[in-house]
Amino acid sequence: MLFELKSVFQNEGEEKQVSYKLDIAEIDIDGVFPFRTPIDVTATAKNRASLVSVALDINFDYTRNCDRCGEEFTRHMNLNFIHKLVQTLADDGNDDYIETPDYKLELDEIVISDILLALPQKNLCKDDCKGLCHICGKNLNEGDCSCDKRQIDPRLEILKQFMD
């Protein structure tokens, strides 16, 4: 989506908004495709005291497999970002600003990179997921199993043999 911002840059107090759906189903993360439905993007550009910024409000469903129990889960996510825009940058090394020399902003790349940087490192179906029994493999969120899960410290095990 190309966001045309000439009127915003040229008029103090001006505001412009665009909402659209972006299909990023082909994006592969760790071999899975977590964005099964198009994401909702609302971009609002504002000129305040001649400083132009664009706020992004991004909503999507994120489907992953739990790191502990392996079950698939879908979580609704809402992410918000603000980027400052300038026509030209004096200093190329300044990442705080996005350059828009022709008053046009290509939103898709910015939205995708914002999302990818903000995704959680851990994927848990719920914060207190109990995971799988390491002996029988049962999903312990569905109930306990009858395995003896007392962890024996290997060093104590050696000591125990020695004492016997």
Nearer to Zn ion, 50 or 146 (CB): 146
CB 147, min distance to Zn ion, A: 3
Nearer to Zn ion, 89 or 133 (CB): 133
Nearer to Zn ion, 64 or 68 (CB): 68
CB 119, min distance to Zn ion, A: 17
CB 72, min distance to Zn ion, A: 10
CB 122, min distance to Zn ion, A: 11
Q: How far apart are CA 17 and CA 58, in angstroms?
A: 13
Q: How far apart are CA 24 and CA 119, in angstroms?
A: 14
Q: How far apart are CA 84 and CA 46, in angstroms?
A: 10
Q: Which residues bind Zn ion (CB under 5 A)?
A: 66, 68-69, 125, 129, 133, 135-136, 138, 145, 147
Nearer to Zn ion, 104 or 149 (CB): 149
- Nearest CA to 39 out of 114, 127, 96 is that of 114
Burial label for 52, CB within 10 Å (0-12, 13-18, 19+), is buried
**160 bridge partner residues:** none
CA atoms within a 13 Å half-sphere pointing along the CA-CB vector of 65: 8
Nearer to Zn ion, 47 or 64 (CB): 64
Q: Tell me if residue 92 falls in helix, strand or coil.
A: coil
